[in-house]
Chain A
Amino acid sequence: MTTKIKDTQKMIEDVLSVYPEKSKKERAKHLAANDPTGQCSTCQVKANVKSRPGVMTVRGCAYAGAKGVVWGPVKDQITISHGPIGCGQYSWWSRRNYYNGQTGIDAFGTMHITTDFQEKNIVYGGDKGLDLAIKELHGLFPLGRGIGILSECPVGLIGDDIEAVSKRVAKEINIPIVPVRCEGFRGVSQSLGHHIANDTIKDYVLGKGTLEKTTPYDVNLIGDYNIGGDAWASRKILEEMGLRVIAQYTGDSTINELGIASKAKLNLIHCYRSMNYICRTMEENYGIPWMEFNFFGPTKTFDSIRKIAAKFDEKIRKNSEAVIAKYTPLMEKVVAQYRSKLEGKKVMLYVGGLRPRHTIGAYEDLGMEVVASGYEFGHADDYKRTYPELKEGAVIMDDATLYELEEFTRRLKPDMVGSGIKEKYSYHKLGVPFRQMHSWDYSGPYHGFDGFPVFARDMDMTVNSPTWDLIRRKNEKNL
Chain B
Amino acid sequence: MKIRDHSELFKQQDYQEQFERKKEFENPWPAEKVKEISDWTRTEEYKELNFKRENIKINPAKACQPLGAVFCASGFEGTMPFVQGAQGCVAYFRSHLSRHFKEPFAAISTSMTEDAAVFGGLNNMLEGLENTHALYKPKMIAVSTTCMAEVIGDDLNSYIKTAKEKGVVPQDLLIPFANTPSFVGSHIVGYDNMMKGILKALWAGKKGEPNGKINIIPGFDTYTGNYHEIKRLMSLMGIEATVLADVSDTFDSPNTGEYKLYPGGTPLHDAQDAVNAIGTVALQKYSTVKTMDHIQKESGQRTLTLSPIGIKNTDAFFAELSKLTGKPVPAAIEAERGRVVDAMVDSHPYVHGKRFALVGDPDILLGMMSLIMEMGGEPVHIVCTNGDKHFEAEANELLASSPFGANGKVYIGKDMWHLRSLLFTDPVDILIGNSYAKFLTQDTGTPLVRIGFPLFDRHHLHRQPIIGYQGALNLVTMLVNTTLDELDRKTEGSASFDVIR
Chain B neighbourhood of A57, CB < 8 A: 87, 91, 109, 111
- A-chain residues with CB within 8 Å of residue B393 when the two chains form the complex: none
Residue of A whose beta carbon sits closest to that of B129: A54
Looking at the assembled complex, report how far the CB atom of B93 sits from the nearest CB atom of chain A, in whole angstroms: 7
Q: Mark A203-228, 1 if CB is under 8 A from B, else 0.
A: 00000011100000000000000001
Asked if B98 contacts A122 (CB within 8 A), the reply is no
Interface string of A234-251 (1 = CB under 8 A from B): 011001000001111000
Chain B minimum-CB-distance residue to A261: B25
Q: 1/0 per residue A443-456: CB within 8 Å of B?
A: 11100001001100
Q: Is B60 an interface residue (CB 8 A)?
A: yes
Find chain B residues with CB under 8 A from A465 CB. Answer: none
Chain A residue contacts of B86, Cβ below 8 A: 61, 153, 184-185
Binding site for B on A (CB under 8 A): 18-20, 22-23, 50-64, 76, 80, 83-87, 89-94, 98, 100, 102-106, 110-119, 121-122, 129-130, 132-133, 136-137, 139-140, 142-143, 145, 152-154, 156-158, 184-188, 190, 209-211, 228-229, 232-233, 235-236, 239, 245-248, 252, 254-257, 260, 333-334, 337, 401-403, 406, 420-431, 443-445, 450, 453-454, 457, 471-475, 478-479
Taking a contact as CB atoms under 8 Å apart, the answer to whether A54 and B38 are in contact is no
Please tell me if the beta carbons of B57 and A444 are within 8 angstroms of each other in the complex: no
The answer to whether A51 and B64 touch across the interface, beta carbons within 8 angstroms, is no
Q: With the chains together, A142 CA to B184 CA distance in Å?
A: 31
Given A106-B29, A106-B34, check contact A54 B131 (CB 8 Å): yes
Report the minimum CB–CB distance from B435 to chain A (whole Å). Answer: 10
Which of B47-55, B269-277, B333-341, B493-501 makes up part of the contact surface? B47-55
- B residues bordering A, Cβ < 8 Å? 1, 3-6, 9-10, 14-15, 18-19, 21-22, 25-29, 33-34, 37-38, 41, 46, 49-50, 52-60, 62-64, 66-67, 82, 85-89, 91-96, 98-99, 102-114, 116-117, 123-125, 127-132, 134-136, 146-148, 151-152, 181-184, 186, 253, 255-260, 417, 420, 436, 439, 442-443
A140 near B50: Cβ-Cβ < 8 Å: yes
Contact (Cβ within 8 A) B256 A474: yes
Enumerate chain A residues within 8 angstroms of B255, measured Cβ to Cβ: 428-429, 431, 471
Pairwise interchain contact A105-B38, C-beta atoms closer than 8 A: yes
Give the CA-CA distance A429 to B41 in the complex, in Å: 47
> Contacting A153 at CB < 8 Å: which of B14, B18, B107, B146?
B146
- Taking a contact as CB atoms under 8 Å apart, the answer to whether B50 and A406 are in contact is no
Given the interface pairs A55-B131, A184-B148, the reply to whether A112 lies near B258 with Cβ below 8 Å is no
Instruction: Contact check, A89 vs B98: say whether CB atoms are below 8 A apart.
Output: no
- Whether A114 lies near B60 (C-beta < 8 A) is yes
Pick from B3, B19, B53, B89: contact of A140, CB under 8 Å = B53
**Contact: A425 with B102, CB < 8 Å?**
yes
A139-B131 contact, Cβ under 8 Å, with A102-B34, A454-B3: no
User: Once the chains bind, are B443 and A62 in contact (CB under 8 Å)?
Assistant: no
> CB < 8 Å: which of B52, B58, B99, B147 contacts A154?
B147
Contact between A20 and B131, CB atoms less than 8 A apart: yes
Residues of the A chain whose Cβ atoms lie less than 8 Å from the Cβ of B184: 118-119
- Choice from B19, B135, B260 contacting A100 with Cβ under 8 Å: B19
Asked if A104 and B443 make an inter-chain contact with CB atoms under 8 angstroms apart, the answer reads: yes
- B258 near A421: Cβ-Cβ < 8 Å: no
Given contacts A61-B87, A229-B10, contact A421 B259 (CB under 8 A): no
B98:A422 contact, CB within 8 angstroms: yes
Q: Are B58's CB and A113's CB within 8 A?
A: yes
Decide yes or no: A254 and B91 within 8 Å by CB, A53-B111, A139-B49 being known contacts: no
- Docked Cα-Cα span, A228 to B151, in Å, equals 38
Which residues on the B side are within 8 Å of A100 (C-beta)?
19
Q: Which residues of A contact B439 (CB under 8 A)?
A: 103, 110
Q: For residue A227, give the distance in angstroms from its CB to the closest CB of chain B.
A: 10
Contact A20 B256 (CB under 8 A): no
B144 to chain A, nearest CB (A): 12
Minimum C-beta distance from B32 to chain A (A) = 12
Chain B residue contacts of A54, Cβ below 8 A: 82, 108-110, 127-132, 135
Cβ 8 A contact of B26, one of A254, A337, A426: A254
Taking a contact as CB atoms under 8 Å apart, the answer to whether B59 and A112 are in contact is yes
17 residue pairs of the A-B complex, CB under 8 angstroms, read: A52-B111, A54-B132, A55-B135, A57-B87, A89-B96, A98-B6, A103-B439, A153-B146, A157-B151, A157-B152, A185-B148, A235-B22, A236-B15, A260-B25, A430-B259, A443-B5, A450-B4
Do the beta carbons of B1 and A333 come within 8 Å of each other? yes
Of the candidates A92, A185, A406, the one whose C-beta lies within 8 Å of that of B112 is A185
